[in-house]
A and B are shown apart, each in its own frame.
Chain A
Amino acid sequence: AQRVTQPEKLLSVFKGAPVELKCNYSYSGSPELFWYVQYSRQRLQLLLRHISRESIKGFTADLNKGETSFHLKKPFAQEEDSAMYYCALSRYNTDKLIFGTGTRLQVFP
């Protein structure tokens, strides 16, 4: 069965520190991987997709098929990055998303 694991419920860092939010997945095919973010009192929104290989708000994520991971990284955290982050998987040619349980990122001043 497909599964997305986010081992950390909470990650706390100080402003300017590097951030890495971990995501591991279980799927035998070629998945599409996503990071979604939910800021306080806002809707769930797409942060980035592995296919687009872009950097959004300074965040990047690389799909490592050997380690079945899709960790989210940012070299210098900002206070406005504080939010709930969800890693999600979509199976090839089907569109529903399978979400992890989420990691809350707190960035202290």
Chain B
Amino acid sequence: GAGVSQSPRYKVAKRGQDVALRCDPISGHVSLFWYQQALGQGPEFLTYFQNEAQLDKSGLPSDRFFAERPEGSVSTLKIQRTQQEDSAVYLCASSPNGRATNEKLFFGSGTQLSVL
């Protein structure tokens, strides 16, 4: 594969709608991160998986946000009852390392979510 793949590239949702954002990491990568980047801001950590285990979800802003990686490869970030403040670019990143992930961390192009 060419790298970390995210879909859809753009998503427009009506307020209150549920959305699902997909991340295909580089094959064989152990670690997977989700970040949220609001307009004019830097990326902010949401959650981290090592294989299928969600080891850190401290950055999820509310219980409307849920992430899974059931088979240790593809991950889905789900947002229920979207609000306007959820509008952002959602970035996925993967690493072949289980530790020291920042030595080799590869970002996807992101999904731009707009909530109307």
Contacts and interface: CB of A to CB of B under 8 A. Distances in A.
A34 interface: yes
B42, B59, B99, B103, most chain A CB atoms within 10 A: B42
Contacts of B99: 95
Contact of B42 (A46, A49, A95, A102): A102
A96 B107 contact: no
A98 B3 CA distance: 23
A95 B108 contact: no
Contacts of B66: none
B41 interface: yes
B107 A95 contact: no
B82 interface: no
B102 A90 contact: yes
Interface residues of A, number: 20
B90 interface: no
Contacts, number: 48
A96 B48 contact: yes
A85 to B, nearest CB: 10
Interface residues of B, number: 25
Contacts of A70: none
A106 to B, nearest CB: 16
A100 B109 CA distance: 19
Given A43-B107, A46-B105, A86-B42, 13 more contacts: A4-B42, A34-B102, A43-B3, A43-B4, A43-B109, A44-B43, A49-B102, A95-B48, A96-B45, A97-B35, A98-B45, A99-B42, A99-B44
Interface of A: 4, 32, 34, 43-46, 49, 86, 88, 90, 94-102
10 contacts: A44-B43, A44-B91, A45-B107, A49-B102, A49-B103, A95-B48, A95-B102, A98-B45, A99-B42, A102-B41
